[in-house]
Chain A
């Protein structure tokens, strides 16, 4: 019966229909109304975590998610079919093609920022750089807005950080991403250098000294959060959750699937971190700034990105984590449709691609299209802020909610609007 009622009623209409019912004060009293309400409220559980695969340097859309084979702009790049009919990826992404039904591609990203630093800022914060306020990155916003839960380690983590890792901006440095190297190396500075008994005594001694300084400064010392940070660092040092960084605990085959390089290991660590409740993990893959030898560079990068990204999606799916994790793959901009004299492509913010997957994102979906010859602007140009609003909505946050900057200026979580077509 339920399905009969819904047939042919698009999602949005269904909701407005419900709203009418609610206004009439009827629908939720009747069994049918309850069913309808359940269906609409079923608005699935919001996602819990975000994994941002950061393609540092600006990958070419043409050699990744938006190929235009046999055109001038392709410069010889071929396309491959994917599990979703009619959607192609550039060659080199054979494994990602297999999980295409979980991926949404936005091929019509536009921005006004063609500089690495400014582009990075825009993509990570959803705002254009501005001299008067430093915006928080999306991971910082999520950590600030969503409850801490049982997470004892930093909830915002950047593995293999680039020059501009995700920051807390005006929310404060405590929301900066905690930076970690290749998971192959032991996490720095989380173990005391002295035996336990001495360590315990030293920490006890801290308090004796703090007491003297607190005298006459109680509120001011509290405002520094110094002792709180010490406490949290101590909790982290002894937390079992730290093991999430240790990818050697994974079966060899899993490690091989992700790829036995820094990025592959970092993606695997990201999955393990999400499992212990980390809100946002940023994983950087560097080296996309292909002003020369674009094709060769992109072929090489695909060799790293394809296995890691596809394994991450599969792995999250297998563990029932994909529904509660939003995965984003993006760089600061795309690259010019024209191949330059050095065989490279230059910066191009006028029509580039990003990929999204997981929690609340509609898989197998493509939004927007670029001109195959790269002359006209893209169809359905999409603003970076709208992507931010969409992801915020996927994690259950209202983008129009406001934070207050240090000078008392209200600032929305995002100025964009969620793109409904991208959401389930």
Chain B
């Protein structure tokens, strides 16, 4: 009886949405080639010279390092890269079909336009940026509403608000953490019965907006750099007059009075910027002074720090490692300076920065090469880096791979899953890399166990009514097309000839439930390969 109902539902699916689906899934478009040069111009509409300058700089560096860049990546690879980097998921079958129905030379430009206008981009990018601002922990009870904070940030990104303005709000906003969500930047540092913590805030500003790790100067002078303890304390002192009360975060009176580690006594420290003191205007609340100084277009650090981070979000790896310590490389690399100058000159427009990087030759290189890839090539960005995907990208990928249509276009999947990434059981088990999210790391056994045997992948690959594998089994007209759709859905590419014939043999002559199970097993295998869990 129960089986009967189930079958009926399947029939309904086939006769109802089925016909339409088949049409949208299988418009046979010939695989793509060429047309990439022309397309570049479409990605950055105004002033594309920055892209040529960037490419020239890379060619200069490649020549200097005596390496040759590998060839360009295939269009579908680029499509996948963009989805993962900007929306934390992989392209849906539906999106792939639409992508391939467009003129070759405009596909990536249109895809990027679509992504940047998609709420999933704002949500995902906000979450990634929020890590740099407030970390991954949940913060003090009630005072700190991470969710609201991330939503606010997402709104700013969606409305394309200039980044310097966002940063000014984060540093200097007053009000309640609920209706002025930017104040969570400050309130997250509150400990029971204490005002917001000036040291923590100073360290955050240094790392997130200046691209320097000043934390060690908290206790002593920086071992390698010019940073002194008084630089750190001077920065912290800008938060020496911030308080919290019924009206939320506000600027009042008081002094920052850290304990001198030698004498054990408290000593008043006055606000002081660590460099470019001539840019500091000493009027208004201290936090406002600091915010103006950080975002002054003549202060290069905000742009440089932001460029390194956005680069890392796109490539999975920052130009300077660690992402929030530009000083570790000495003088910032030319590429950072170039992009940072353009970012500042164009009103701190994050979307433009993304477009410029995406249009660059470096971003469009393949991760494979006919000749063995050397470490020198990797070091010089002459080949696209292979990096471990973050847990939320993997979970986004698994969920999207199990559905043929785009999942929830209006909101990122994880928003729907509820609350922060940190709380999702999958992310926890997969191993969140925390704030230091771009440190290079390899795969672990618990991750493999989770993807091979975890309930999420099992639910998504078993013969379920709405699972992609079952629907492919039901709807694909031929074995070959079924395998091709499975590959496109999970790995955003077509199978090689060897793969196609291997898997066609797996499903040949099967019907009904048997066919669904076999396709489920194929999707399982596609999810468990290196290619799925690594950005490439």
Using a CB–CB cutoff of 8 Å, the interface residues on chain A facing chain B are 130-132, 134, 154, 172-174, 176, 178-179, 188-194, 198, 201-202, 205-206, 208-213, 215-221, 223-227, 229-230, 232-233, 236-237, 406-407
Choice from A198, A217, A232 contacting B386 with Cβ under 8 Å: A217
Contacts of B434-471 to chain A: CB distance below 8 A: 436, 439-450, 452-454, 458, 462
Asked if residues B442 and A233 are in contact (CB atoms below 8 Å), the reply is: no
Residue among A134, A176, A202, A237 making CB contact with B436, cutoff 8 Å: A134
The answer to whether A189 and B522 have CB atoms under 8 Å apart is: no
Of A172, A206, A219, A226, the most chain B CB neighbours within 10 A belong to A226
**What A residues does B441 contact at CB under 8 A?**
172-173
Interface positions, chain B 328-379, Cβ under 8 Å from A, are 328, 366-370, 372-373, 378
Given contacts A189-B446, A205-B521, 20 further A-B contacts (CB under 8 A): A134-B436, A173-B441, A179-B429, A190-B453, A201-B521, A205-B525, A206-B528, A209-B525, A209-B531, A212-B495, A213-B529, A216-B368, A223-B442, A226-B443, A226-B529, A226-B533, A227-B530, A233-B452, A237-B453, A406-B440
- Asked whether B247 is an interface residue with its Cβ less than 8 Å from the other chain, the reply is no
User: From residue B217, how far is it (CB to closest CB) to chain A in Å?
Assistant: 10
A65 vs B381: C-alpha distance when bound (angstroms)? 57
Nearest B residue to A236 via CB reads B445
Verify B216–A224 contact, CB threshold 8 A. no
- Whether B524 sits at the interface, judged by CB under 8 Å, is yes
Q: Which 3 interchain pairs have the tightest Cβ spacing?
A: A216-B368, A225-B442, A233-B448
A278 to chain B, nearest CB (A): 13
Max chain A CB contacts within 10 Å: which of B373, B502, B524? B524
Contacts of A225 in B (CB 8 A): 442-443
Contact present for A176 and B462 (CB under 8 Å) = no
Taking the nearest CB of chain B, how far is it from the CB of A276, in angstroms? 16
In the complex, 10 of the A-B residue pairs with CB atoms within 8 angstroms, ordered by the A residue number, are A176-B444, A190-B453, A202-B524, A202-B528, A209-B529, A216-B369, A218-B372, A221-B386, A223-B442, A224-B534
User: Distance in Å from the Cβ of B390 to the closest Cβ of chain A?
Assistant: 13
B446 in complex: contacting residue of A178, A202, A213, CB < 8 Å: A178
Q: Which of A178, A198, A202: most chain B Cβ within 10 A?
A: A202
Decide: B431 and A173 in contact? CB cutoff 8 A. Answer: yes
Q: A205 to B449, alpha carbons, bound, how many Å?
A: 17
Given A202-B525, A233-B445, are A193 and B386 neighbors across the interface (CB < 8 Å)?
A: no
Bitwise, B392-411 to A at CB < 8 A (1) or not (0) is 00000000000000000000
Query: Is B213 positioned at the interface, with any CB of A under 8 Å from its CB?
Result: yes
Contacts of A209 in B (CB 8 A): 491, 499, 525-526, 529, 531
Contact call A208/B442, Cβ cutoff below 8 A: no
Instruction: Say yes or no for B250: interface residue by CB 8 A criterion.
Output: no
Chain A nearest CB, measured from B278 CB (Å): 29
Chain A facing B: main interface SS? helix
Residue of A nearest to B366 (CB): A216
Closest CB of chain B to A185's CB: distance in Å? 14
B448 touches A205 (CB 8 A): no
Residues of A within 8 A of B491 (CB): 209
Of the candidates B215, B372, B517, B529, which one forms a contact with A198 in the assembled complex, judged by CB atoms under 8 Å apart? B517
Smallest distance from the beta carbon of A5 to chain B beta carbons, Å?
50
A225 to B447, CA, bound (A): 12
B residues near A (Cβ < 8 Å) are 213, 215-216, 325, 328, 366-370, 372-373, 378, 386, 388, 429, 431, 436, 439-450, 452-454, 458, 462, 491, 495-496, 498-499, 502-503, 506, 517, 521-522, 524-526, 528-531, 533-534, 536
A189 B444 Cβ-Cβ under 8 A: no
Which residue from chain A places its CB closest to the CB of B383 in the assembled complex?
A220
Q: CB distance B528 to A208 under 8 Å?
A: no
With A131-B216, A205-B503 as known contacts, state yes or no: A213 contacts B498, CB within 8 Å.
Answer: no
Flag if A217 contacts B524 (CB, 8 Å): no
- For B526, the chain A residues whose CB sits under 8 A away are 209
Closest to B388 in A: A224
Instruction: Report the minimal beta-carbon distance from B442 to chain A, rounded to whole angstroms.
Output: 4
CB of A213 within 8 A of CB of B531, answer: yes
- Cβ–Cβ contact A132 & B216, under 8 A: yes
Q: In the bound complex, how far is the Cα of B222 from the Cα of A130, in angstroms? A: 11
Bound CA–CA A216/B74 (angstroms)? 14
**A229 and B498 contact, Cβ closer than 8 Å, known pairs A205-B522, A206-B529, A220-B367:** no
**Complex: A174 Cα to B448 Cα, angstroms:** 11
Q: Tell me whether B431 and A176 are in contact (CB under 8 A).
A: yes
Q: From the candidates B368, B440, B444, B496, name the one contacting A229 in the complex (CB within 8 A).
A: B444
Query: Is B462 in contact with A211, judged by CB distance below 8 angstroms?
Result: no
Q: How far is the CB of B262 from chain A (nearest CB, A)?
A: 14
Is B215 a contact partner of A131 (Cβ separation < 8 A)? yes
Q: A219 to B373, Cβ gap below 8 A?
A: yes
**For the complex, what is the distance from the CA of A225 to the CA of B216, rounded to whole Å?**
33
Known contacts A176-B444, A224-B534, A227-B530; A191/B517 CB under 8 A = no
- Chain B residues near A226 (CB-CB < 8 A): 442-443, 448, 529-530, 533-534
B517 partner residues in chain A, CB cutoff 8 A? 198
Residue of A nearest to B522 (CB): A205
Q: Is the CB–CB distance between B216 and A212 below 8 Å?
A: no
B453 close to A212 (CB less than 8 A): no
Contacts of A406 in B (CB 8 A): 439-440
Question: B367, B453, B521: which contacts A191 (Cβ < 8 A)?
Answer: B453
Q: How far is the CB of B401 from chain A (nearest CB, A)?
A: 14
